[in-house]
């Protein structure tokens, strides 16, 4: 499975003549043409169907990956879709030593008519450029970003699951990432960089589906500090969260919540998701964006969908004391986590070394309602009045 095709010399040549879509060997998108190297051994349909029936999260991968190379001399070039498989990296590649890496998470959804769509990919493209600037990596154009998703999906559309019903949130999770591949141990931005997109069929991120999750409040680990990389989607932020995540698991929790580094008081985000607080008077509060918080695409969409549903969205600082007191007084009725992978997942309790904030067991109706609205949009069951969907196939 996933044999690596031989890479002809011509692929090193960035100058390609644009050809029409689906010519067989090329896939043209605005400003670029992806050369197609089909896998010699694609996964058999029955094996793929077994995977799609129960994909879990991040365990299985489609037959191809998109790739674009960057060098300081030639810029972005060598657009291709090639068989999924191990990368050849020099042991001195900068990413292995200094972590010069960024990534994105975005999903492809199959609609009832068989077409495949992504949700606000231009937001991910924009964030990817922002992350690149912070990590001193080259910026990839929005056309190349969205084009790479389309080029990969043109090959691997069979890997997009068909949802069985409205509660089924299966999709093809796309993971664009960029690494510093230059062989050089000096500490400076790399002169050679590779961008890839891999695709993984995905069901619910949490094992319990939308059952409320328990969160561990990290008391001494911090995820991000002012001036650091917290707002960027880089591997280092996630690596920095893992010791706290281990601590969370030791306490029976599936995620970890971080407070700010300066005052140890303000709620920032979970290891890989943003947080929302539902107030009984209709306010929908989420920590305002700072350079220590990742600007989630789902977060931004929930603010808009919340307003559409008659809630009053508020982006502001919210302290751990406000969470504790708000639940005790009944002001805060629900808390939920959101992200591309997690969609919208209710929080059942926040456990810390000092105490536990137990959320009311009242059904998490608002989280479920917003989640339903979001999924209906993503799967084409509701009118896309904000123009958030982009067709991939
Ligand atoms: C996503 O939601 O796409 C992320 O990148 C978060 C990660 C925890 C899977």
Tell me: the pLDDT tens digits for 327-385?
A: 999 999 999 999 999 999 999 999 999 999 999 989 999 999 999 999 999 999 999 99
176 touches ligand 1 (CB under 6 Å): no
- Determine which helix (DSSP H) or strand (DSSP E) holds 376, and give its type and residue range: helix 365-378
What is residue 208's predicted lDDT score, i.e. its pLDDT? Answer: 80
Closest residue by Cα to atom 9, ligand 1, is: 341
296 touches ligand 1 (CB under 6 Å): no
200 touches ligand 1 (CB under 6 Å): no
124 touches ligand 1 (CB under 6 Å): no
What is residue 24's predicted lDDT score, i.e. its pLDDT? Answer: 60
Which atom of ligand 1 is nearest to 205's Cα?
9
> Under DSSP, is residue 22 helix (H, G, I), strand (E, B) or coil?
coil
What is residue 220's predicted lDDT score, i.e. its pLDDT? Answer: 86
Query: What residues contact 364, with CB distance under 8 A and at least 6 apart?
Result: 212, 334, 336, 346
Closest residue by Cα to atom 5, ligand 1, is: 105
What is residue 104's predicted lDDT score, i.e. its pLDDT? Answer: 98
- Pair of tokens at residue 70: 């960057």
What is residue 19's predicted lDDT score, i.e. its pLDDT? Answer: 37
Q: What is the pTM of this model?
A: 0.92
Q: At what angle do helices 297-308 and 365-378 cross, to 10 degrees?
A: 110
* Inter-residue contact 105 to 273 (CB < 8 Å): no
Closest residue by Cα to atom 8, ligand 1, is: 272
Which atom of ligand 1 is nearest to 233's Cα?
5
What is residue 16's predicted lDDT score, i.e. its pLDDT? Answer: 37
Residues 239-274 have pLDDT tens digits of 999 999 999 999 999 999 999 999 999 999 999 999
Which residues, given as ranges, of the chain have pLDDT below 50?
Answer: 1-23
- Cα 108 vs. chain centroid, distance in angstroms? 12
> Under DSSP, is residue 174 helix (H, G, I), strand (E, B) or coil?
strand
CATH class of 9-203: alpha beta
Domains in the chain: boundaries = 9-203, 213-378
340 touches ligand 1 (CB under 6 Å): yes
What is residue 209's predicted lDDT score, i.e. its pLDDT? Answer: 78
138 touches ligand 1 (CB under 6 Å): no
Ligand 1 centroid to 175 CA: how many Å? 9
From the CB of residue 368, how many other CB atoms can be counted at a distance below 10 Å?
15
Q: Name residue 32's beta-bridge partners.
A: 29
Ligand 1 centroid to 104 CA: how many Å? 8
What is residue 29's predicted lDDT score, i.e. its pLDDT? Answer: 86
Task: Domain 213-378: give its CATH code.
Answer: 3.20.10.10
What is residue 7's predicted lDDT score, i.e. its pLDDT? Answer: 33
How many helices (H) and strands (E) the chain has is answered by 8, 19
């Amino acid at each position: 499975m996933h044999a690596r095709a031989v890479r002809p010399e011509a692929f090193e040549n960035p100058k390609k003549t644009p050809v029409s879509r689906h010519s067989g060997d090329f896939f043209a998108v605005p400003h670029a043409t992806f050369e197609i190297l089909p896998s010699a051994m694609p996964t058999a349909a029955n094996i793929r169907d077994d995977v799609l029936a129960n994909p879990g999260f991040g365990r299985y991968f489609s037959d191809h990956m998109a790739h674009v190379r960057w060098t300081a001399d030639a810029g972005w070039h060598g657009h291709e879709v090639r068989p999924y498989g191990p990368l050849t990296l020099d042991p001195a590649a900068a990413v292995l030593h200094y972590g010069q890496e960024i990534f994105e998470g975005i999903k492809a959804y199959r609609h009832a008519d068989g077409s495949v769509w992504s949700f606000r990919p231009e937001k991910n493209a924009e964030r990817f450029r922002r992350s690149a600037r912070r990590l001193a990596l080259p910026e990839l154009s929005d056309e190349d970003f969205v084009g790479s998703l389309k080029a990969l999906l043109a090959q691997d559309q069979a890997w997009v699951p068909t949802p069985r019903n409205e509660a089924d949130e299966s999709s093809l999770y796309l993971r664009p990432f960029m690494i510093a591949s230059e062989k050089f141990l000096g500490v400076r931005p790399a002169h050679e960089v590779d961008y890839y997109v891999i695709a993984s069929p995905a069901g619910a991120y949490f094992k319990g589906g939308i059952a409320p999750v328990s969160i561990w409040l990290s008391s001494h680990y911090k995820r991000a500090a002012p001036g650091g990389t917290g707002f960027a989607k880089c591997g280092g932020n996630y690596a920095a969260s893992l010791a706290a995540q281990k601590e969370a698991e030791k306490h029976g929790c599936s995620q970890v919540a971080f407070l700010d580094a300066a005052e140890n008081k303000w709620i920032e985000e979970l290891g890989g998701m943003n947080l929302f607080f539902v107030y009984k008077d209709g306010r929908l509060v989420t920590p305002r964006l700072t350079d220590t918080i990742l600007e989630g695409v789902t977060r931004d969409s929930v603010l808009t969908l919340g307003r559409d549903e008659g809630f009053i969205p508020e982006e502001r600082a919210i302290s751990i004391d406000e969470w504790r007191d708000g639940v005790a007084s009944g002001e805060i009725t629900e808390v939920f986590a959101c992200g591309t992978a997690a969609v919208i997942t209710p929080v059942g309790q926040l456990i810390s070394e000092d105490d536990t904030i137990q959320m009311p067991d009242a059904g998490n109706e608002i989280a479920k309602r917003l989640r339903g609205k979001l999924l209906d949009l993503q799967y084409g069951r509701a009118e896309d009045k904000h123009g958030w969907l982009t067709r991939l196939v």
